[in-house]
């Protein structure tokens, strides 16, 4: 049986984020020495770091797992989360959906928060918790950016949605969506 808890996973996730080198936050190009955020590259490194830290007999970390072939997803969202922490083949241990962003784009941010909400709120698939991870920006940056549109996200699951910001290597801020709303 799994000893999983959101608190223990947040510790693992925070430690994993602290292990990601700055070179993964922005990818240097021949035209931009400052670098360009590349979500997929960052997520691959995060996946590697998580796999080094996360050990569970039942649960698995899956990246960009689409839900084709899943009977309970027929006619529902075709969303492909960046990460799922779950027990494959059943809905008994659908623990966490994670969405990751490296740039600030209001439509993408709101869409990802709505995706997280839908995975938590749906009574069939029912993920226990959601995490929105914003890298390259602080919590204050995210809060200021989202302030005008935060009410587009329903409030009834706010305590189950965690906001994590990692502006640069070694810096990790963790809040709930409820705390974000209160701070506005």
Domain assignment present for 107: yes
> Which H helix or E strand runs over 114?
helix 106-121
Q: Does residue 174 fall inside a structural domain?
A: yes
Measured in degrees and rounded to the nearest 5, phi and psi for residue 92 equal -65, -35
Report if residue 58 sits inside a domain.
Answer: yes
Is 153 within a domain?
yes
Report the pLDDT value the prediction gives residue 70, as an integer from 0 to 100: 62
Nearest partner of 83 among 40, 19, 146, judged by Cα: 40
pLDDT at 67 over 80: no
The pLDDT score that the predictor gives to residue 123 is: 86
CA–chain centroid gap for 6, Å, is 13
pLDDT at 17 over 80: yes
Q: Distance (Å, rounded) from C-alpha 128 to C-alpha 126?
A: 6
The verdict on residue 86 lying in a domain is: yes
CA angle 26, 163, 123 (to 5 degrees): 125
**Packing angle of the helix pair 6-18, 39-53 (nearest 10 deg):** 120
For residue 135, the enclosing domain spans 6-183
Domain tally for the chain? 1
Give the pLDDT mean for 35-61: 94
Confidence of residue 96 (pLDDT cuts 50, 70, 90): very high
- Write the CB contacts of 4 (distance below 8 Å, at least 6 apart in sequence): 56, 58, 59, 85, 93, 95
Please indicate, yes or no, if residue 172 is contained in any of the structural domains: yes
Residue appearing with tokens 């009977």: 71
Structure confidence at residue 166 as a pLDDT band (50, 70, 90): very high
Q: Has residue 1 been placed in a domain? A: no
């Amino acid at each position: 049986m799994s000893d999983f808890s959101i608190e223990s996973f947040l510790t693992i996730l925070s430690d994993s984020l602290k292990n990601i080198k700055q070179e993964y936050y922005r990818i240097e190009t021949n035209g931009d020495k400052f670098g360009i955020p590349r979500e997929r590259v960052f997520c691959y490194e995060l996946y590697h770091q998580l796999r080094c830290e996360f050990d569970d007999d039942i649960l698995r970390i899956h990246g960009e797992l689409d839900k084709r072939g899943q009977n309970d997803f027929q006619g529902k969202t075709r969303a492909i989360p960046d990460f799922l922490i779950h027990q494959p083949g059943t809905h008994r241990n659908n623990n966490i959906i994670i969405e990751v962003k490296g740039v600030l784009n209001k439509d993408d941010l709101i869409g990802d928060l709505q995706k997280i909400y839908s995975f938590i709120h749906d009574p069939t698939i029912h993920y226990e918790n959601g995490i929105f991870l914003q890298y390259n920006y602080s919590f204050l940056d995210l809060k200021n950016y989202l302030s005008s549109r935060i009410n587009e996200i329903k409030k009834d699951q706010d305590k189950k949605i965690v906001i994590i910001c990692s502006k640069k290597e070694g810096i990790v801020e963790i809040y709930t969506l409820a705390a974000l709303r209160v701070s506005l």
